[in-house]
Amino acid sequence: MKLDPSRPILYLITRGETTETTTAASQEFKDIVEQVSTAVVAGVDLVQLREKRLSARVLFELTRYAAAVTGDSATRLLVNDRADIAAGAGADGVHLTGQSIDASNIRRTFGDHFLIGVSTHSLAEVRAAEQVGASFVVFGPVFDTPSKRHYGGPIGVTELSHVTRKLGRFPVLALGGLAIDNFELCLNAGAAGIAGISLFGKSHELKKIVARIKNAGSGDED
């Protein structure tokens, strides 16, 4: 499965606020299913279930519920790290980190139609992900974000532009510190889309934010 890099690809990532004690009856479980539903209505392209502390059983249940929501829509569902759960529960793909199984193994196991996103922080990592069969990468953090400060400072828009020029039409999505007042810098730097947690985290504003980003990417914004 390939993504269309000719328009902004919007990638909503869940907050990871579930825990080992979360069950299908927990409010935070229900909140994520509702967030996925809101994302579908708003026209978000990709949703990642980034719930790393859930038990495998509950993550499977959450993925199954979310896949039922996205199934007949244009929104594609990915699961952080667990390709087995993603495939078994009906999601469209997996998102891999630096500690995950290599994308080439995932591609061989799950086939050409399985979406594979990869987190990257350098041109070398982006190129490696492309070469081993990733569908797209997220690149960052582009801007300062508290959750990533222990990894070092932001990479910046200049480096994002350098990476996107080198990769051509391979989808590179900007991540890290993205907000309504800076996302256009990333699109202008050649990013194929915008990934975020906080940017897409307010359900009541999501439809408006999605429309604004897509309009900016198409050149229709005033």
State pLDDT tens for residues 56-114: 999 999 999 999 999 999 999 999 999 999 999 999 999 999 899 999 999 999 999 99
Asked whether residue 220 carries a pLDDT value surpassing 80, the answer given is no
- 151: DSSP letter: G
Residue 78 phi, psi dihedral angles, 5° rounding: -125, 155
Give the separation between CA 177 and CA 175, rounded to whole angstroms: 7
Listed in sequence order, the DSSP H helices in 72-202 are: 83-89, 103-110, 123-131, 157-167, 183-188
Listed in sequence order, the DSSP H helices in the chain are: 27-42, 56-70, 83-89, 103-110, 123-131, 157-167, 183-188, 203-218
Q: What is the mean pLDDT of the chain?
A: 94
Asked whether residue 179 carries a pLDDT value surpassing 60, the answer given is yes
Helix-then-strand count for the chain, H and E: 8, 8
Per-residue model confidence (pLDDT) at position 150: 67
Give the separation between CA 135 and CA 103, rounded to whole angstroms: 9
Domains by residue range for the chain, with CATH: 9-217 (3.20.20.70)
Closest CA to 196 of 7, 40, 9, 12: 12
